Chain A
Amino acid sequence: MSNMEKELKQLIIDCLDLEDLTIEDINSQEALFNEGLGLDSIDALELGLAIRKKYNVRIDADKDDVVNIFASVATLTQFIESEQMGKA
């Protein structure tokens, strides 16, 4: 897994009170919400805030395809990297 994926997994564990998980327990391709990891809508808001704080990347519910961006660690990583590229 890429460094960004590792970092993102640790962020998910820290900001969503998932201390009993390790980054190895989260599969980059696995669904984050409902199925898979089993996160819920409050987690989505919390994670969105944590990503904004850490990467200065804003996920806009009106403009962005939130469902697909939050689908997995892999899709989130892709979105953050492409946003950071756009800013560079």
Chain B
Amino acid sequence: MQQDFILNQWSVWPPLDDSGLTEAELLAFMPKMLKRRLSPLAKTVFCAAAPCLKKGEEIPTVFSSTHGELAKSFAMMEMIEAGEDISPTAFSLSVHNAIAGLFSIAYKNKVQSTVVAPGEEGVAAAFIEAIGLLAEGEKEVLIVLYDEPLVDFYPAEPFKLSANQRCAVALKISKTGEGIPLRFSCQSETGNDGEQPLQVPLLIKFLSTAQACLKILTPRHSWQWEKQ
């Protein structure tokens, strides 16, 4: 399998340098009543995505997160165990598509939105979904990969499924247009580079440097991104 696409724009949060807008500036467009619903993870997602979006633009989105708002779910489970009532707001914001929902409300983005919870294959799942949307005729797709450190209760090691920093990266891709031409392919080599939270830093390094090729190894395949 091999697919070509153009990376029009990408951005990451926390930022790689201090040259861009601050969190407060990036979120200034949001009404206060909506902003109060943003968790630290949601803010990270919004800050990563904002530079990739034009005002009033509608774009299909593919979000991908291994753990989502698991910290919220875990806090609720602890409350249930203690016999307490759980907060309806916390519940509504804990589901895997909660951030995608807030995003569509904030940007009045009424087109298709998908939220992936990838396992061992990691970030490749979101690319497959987004490339599929391009193949169906969408002009552009916004991919947003995000995660935060796993709640201590869960064993992240030796499973390679959590990083120690909250992070999001947004990529706007298309079939044609200006940007970096990339070739995405699946290869037979296997290994274990860890799940999405550990893959995202590899992807950021590939995007932010002159590195020509990124290969991510998983127990079943490897996924390769090549700058053309």
Contact = CB atoms under 8 A, between A and B. Distances in A.
Interface of A: 16-18, 20, 38-40, 42-43, 45-46, 49, 52-53
A86 to B, nearest CB: 23
B88 interface: yes
A42 B92 contact: yes
Interface string B10-49: 0000000000000000000000110011000000000000
Contacts, number: 23
A71 B18 CA distance: 47
Contact of A49 (B33, B36, B37, B88): B88
A78 B89 CA distance: 25
B88 A42 contact: yes
A39 B36 CA distance: 12
B88 A45 contact: yes
Contact of A46 (B32, B33, B88): B88
Interface of B: 32-33, 36-37, 85, 87-89, 92
Contacts of A49: 85, 87-88
A53 B86 CA distance: 11
A52 B92 CA distance: 19
B32 A20 contact: yes
Contact of B36 (A18, A45, A52, A53): A18
B33 A38 contact: yes
A39 B89 CA distance: 12
Nearest to B35: A17
Contacts of B37: 17
Contacts of B32: 20
Nearest to B92: A42
Contacts of B33: 38-40
23 contacts: A16-B36, A16-B89, A17-B36, A17-B37, A18-B36, A20-B32, A38-B33, A39-B33, A40-B33, A42-B88, A42-B89, A42-B92, A43-B89, A45-B88, A45-B89, A46-B87, A46-B88, A46-B89, A49-B85, A49-B87, A49-B88, A52-B85, A53-B85
A49 B79 CA distance: 14
A38 B36 CA distance: 13
Contacts of A17: 36-37
Contacts of A46: 87-89
Contacts of B88: 42, 45-46, 49
A20 B33 CA distance: 11
A39 B92 CA distance: 15
Contacts of A43: 89
B32 to A, nearest CB: 7
A49 B36 CA distance: 19
Contacts of A42: 88-89, 92
A53 to B, nearest CB: 7
